[in-house]
């Protein structure tokens, strides 16, 4: 896993030491000696991770972190603060500034490698979602609401074999407005987490053996429902090897006992916010995919989707298409206006969905044309199905804002066996449709040579 890492420290020896450690793991390394240089490098080079010294003259690490997290271009870049300060209040200050984790000087090689790998995995996943979401915005989708800084309304599950610890953690999270439930064993936690994935899972490492908690973490990362659930370990200082192993498995963060309430809340907030951000990106991607296959006016599938769907269906099974055209639609627009014409299109689309089977797929083919893809219907029934549909549309005029408009359709029907060409099938239906138009409109024609 290669990446570009920005090392920021005002002491040259510290920069060279971290640079050497990272180069040995084949990372690309950038260095800066001040907060101002760090911001310029971050904005122009867009590193994958920033290792940021806290105590620097001029602009300190906290301010650099705040500015990185406030800027749209860099807020997604993980920031690890490197500090000789061991006071919990300083860690909380950094977490509240947006830092993702801390490394203590002198930096331990195994801890450095473990945290970098873990944060890079998280960033790579989020980068993929961000790129897809950018595509959604290019399609013209409005951006979703901003993610709140507060964790209020989030759900958390605490897995601990100590009822006292679980209760204490719940009380610590309560001021954040986080709804907390507890599980006394890994199996109980597994059932709760998979059934209703929360926004955060806290897994306690017992003093005697933390293997069960790590096995649970591994299972959660392998399961589709919980793959993206943030995992936070509660650990003792002696659990360092297990914590590092947890990072390799996919654990997101950890907090050491005795747990500082402010630090726990800050870490929980950061993890919940990251999950909400990823959920928002996923929603944007889902919306863009829906837009790509949906007709904006009618809400039906669009031409691109139905063509691909028909090709896929004909690869394995027989299928039929009904190609419908609203008769004299230009006259409707000329007489009642384009707004009324749009209302007619939407109502015809709605009636098609109601009249056809749930298994049939209806799409707007273009303009005033619609295409229904029918599977599993006997060829002898297709003409009857199309006639019933035509009559249902004719029977009731479309009521628009200002008028009641009679609407009729002409329908071309064609069927084909598995392995046939989708293009040829649609062309046959189109030919039948033009025959229906030529015979006076408001009628159904079955393609010649097809039963």
Domain containing 266 — which CATH number? 3.40.50.2300
Looking at the structure, tell me whether residues 251 and 330 fall in a common domain.
Answer: no
Among the three residues 63, 88, 107, which one is the final residue of a domain in this structure?
107
Which residue ranges of the chain lie beneath pLDDT 50? Answer: 451
Write the DSSP symbol of residue 301.
B
389: closest CA among 377, 399, 401, 404?
A: 377
Helix axes 109-138, 261-293, angle to 10 degrees: 30
Take residue 58 and report the two structure tokens written for it: 């001029």
Residue pair 411/441 in contact (Cβ under 8 Å)? The answer is no
Take residue 21 and report the two structure tokens written for it: 């450690």
Q: Which of 368, 369, 387, 417 does the annotation list as catalytic?
A: 368
The SS3 call for residue 178 is coil
Looking at the structure, tell me whether residues 360 and 392 fall in a common domain.
Answer: yes
Residue 325 lies in a domain: yes
Looking at the structure, tell me whether residues 150 and 272 fall in a common domain.
Answer: yes
Residue pair 50/26 in contact (Cβ under 8 Å)? The answer is no
Looking at the structure, tell me whether residues 283 and 313 fall in a common domain.
Answer: no
116: closest CA among 2, 12, 14, 216?
A: 2
Looking at the structure, tell me whether residues 103 and 148 fall in a common domain.
Answer: no
Residue 132 lies in a domain: no
**Number of structural domains in the chain:** 3
Pairing of strands 444-446, 361-366: unpaired
Looking at the structure, tell me whether residues 198 and 266 fall in a common domain.
Answer: yes
Using left for φ > 0, alpha for ψ between -120 and 50, and beta otherwise, residue 177 falls in: left
Residue 54 lies in a domain: yes
Among the three residues 84, 107, 130, which one is the final residue of a domain in this structure?
107
> What dihedral angle (degrees, nearest 10) is formed by the CA atoms of 330, 336, 338, 341?
-70
3-state helix, strand, coil in the chain (%, to 5): 50, 20, 30
Using CA atoms, how far apart are residues 451 and 445, in angstroms rounded to an integer? 12
Residue 123 lies in a domain: no
Residue 147 lies in a domain: yes
CA angle 321, 323, 326 (to 5 degrees): 155
Looking at the structure, tell me whether residues 60 and 187 fall in a common domain.
Answer: no
Looking at the structure, tell me whether residues 317 and 227 fall in a common domain.
Answer: no
Residue located via tokens 């390799």? 248
Beta bridge partners of 182: 158
Give tens-digit pLDDT for 149-204: 788 999 999 999 999 999 999 999 999 999 999 999 999 999 999 999 999 999 99
pLDDT at 209: 79
Residue pair 200/279 in contact (Cβ under 8 Å)? The answer is no
CA-based radius of gyration for the chain: 30
Take residue 340 and report the two structure tokens written for it: 């009324």
**Is 368 a known active-site residue?**
yes
Q: Report CA-CA distances (Å) from 202 to 158, 195, 214, 282, 363.
A: 5, 16, 12, 24, 47
Residue 319 lies in a domain: yes
Q: pTM of the entire structure? A: 0.67
Looking at the structure, tell me whether residues 148 and 281 fall in a common domain.
Answer: yes
- What CATH code is carried by the domain that includes residue 381? 3.30.70.270
pLDDT at 207: 82
Looking at the structure, tell me whether residues 396 and 359 fall in a common domain.
Answer: yes
Looking at the structure, tell me whether residues 276 and 343 fall in a common domain.
Answer: no
Beta strand spans in 24-162 (E): 28-32, 49-53, 79-83, 101-104, 155-159
Beta bridge partners of 399: 404
Query: Residue 434: which domain range?
Result: 303-446
Pairing of strands 155-159, 79-83: unpaired
pLDDT at 194: 95
Q: How many CB atoms lie within 10 A of CB 343?
A: 20
pLDDT at 131: 65
Residue 265 lies in a domain: yes
Q: Establish whether the linkage from the previous residue to 258 is cis, with ω within 30° of 0.
A: yes
Take residue 111 and report the two structure tokens written for it: 């801890």
Looking at the structure, tell me whether residues 95 and 225 fall in a common domain.
Answer: no
Residue pair 243/256 in contact (Cβ under 8 Å)? The answer is no
């Amino acid at each position: 896993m290669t990446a570009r890492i920005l090392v920021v420290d005002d002491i040259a020896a510290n920069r060279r030491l971290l640079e050497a450690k990272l180069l040995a793991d084949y990372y690309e390394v950038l260095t800066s000696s001040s907060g101002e240089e760090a911001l310029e490098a971050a904005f122009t080079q867009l590193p994958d991770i920033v290792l940021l010294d806290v105590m620097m003259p001029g602009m300190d690490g906290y301010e650099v972190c705040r500015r990185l997290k406030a800027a749209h271009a860099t807020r997604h870049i993980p920031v690890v603060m490197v500090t000789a300060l061991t006071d919990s209040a300083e860690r909380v200050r950094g977490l509240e500034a947006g830092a993702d984790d801390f490394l203590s000087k002198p930096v331990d090689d195994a801890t450095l490698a473990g945290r970098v790998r873990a944060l890079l995995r998280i960033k790579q996943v989020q980068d993929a979602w961000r790129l897809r979401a950018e595509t959604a915005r290019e399609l013209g989708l409005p951006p979703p609401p901003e993610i709140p800084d507060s964790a209020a309304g989030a759900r958390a599950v605490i897995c601990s074999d100590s009822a006292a610890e679980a209760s204490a953690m719940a009380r610590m999270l309560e001021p954040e407005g986080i709804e907390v439930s507890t599980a006394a064993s890994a199996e109980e936690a597994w059932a709760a987490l998979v059934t209703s994935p929360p926004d955060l899972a806290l897994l306690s490492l017992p003093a005697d053996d933390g293997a069960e908690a790590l096995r649970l973490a591994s299972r959660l990362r392998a399961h589709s429902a919980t793959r993206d659930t943030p995992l936070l370990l509660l650990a003792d200082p002696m659990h360092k090897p297990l914590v590092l192993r947890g990072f390799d498995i996919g654990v997101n963060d950890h907090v050491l006992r005795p747990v500082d309430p402010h630090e726990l809340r800050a870490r929980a907030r950061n993890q919940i916010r990251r999950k909400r951000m990823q959920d928002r990106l996923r929603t944007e991607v889902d919306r863009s995919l829906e837009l790509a296959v949906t007709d904006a006016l009618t809400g039906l599938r669009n031409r691109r989707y139905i063509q691909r769907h028909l090709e896929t269906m004909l690869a394995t099974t027989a299928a039929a298409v009904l190609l419908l055209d609203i008769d004299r639609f230009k006259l409707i627009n000329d007489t009642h206006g384009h707004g009324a014409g749009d209302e007619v299109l939407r109502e015809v689309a709605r009636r098609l969905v109601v009249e056809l089977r749930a298994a049939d797929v209806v799409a707007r083919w273009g303009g005033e044309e619609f295409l229904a893809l029918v599977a599993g219907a006997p060829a002898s029934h297709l003409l009857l199905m199309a006639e019933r549909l035509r009559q249902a549309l004719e029977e009731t005029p479309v009521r628009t804002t200002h008028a009641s408009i009679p609407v009729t359709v002409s329908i071309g029907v064609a069927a084909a066996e598995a392995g046939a060409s989708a293009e040829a099938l649609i062309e046959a239906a189109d030919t039948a449709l033009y025959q229906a138009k030529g015979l006076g409109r408001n009628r159904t024609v079955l393609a010649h040579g097809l039963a």
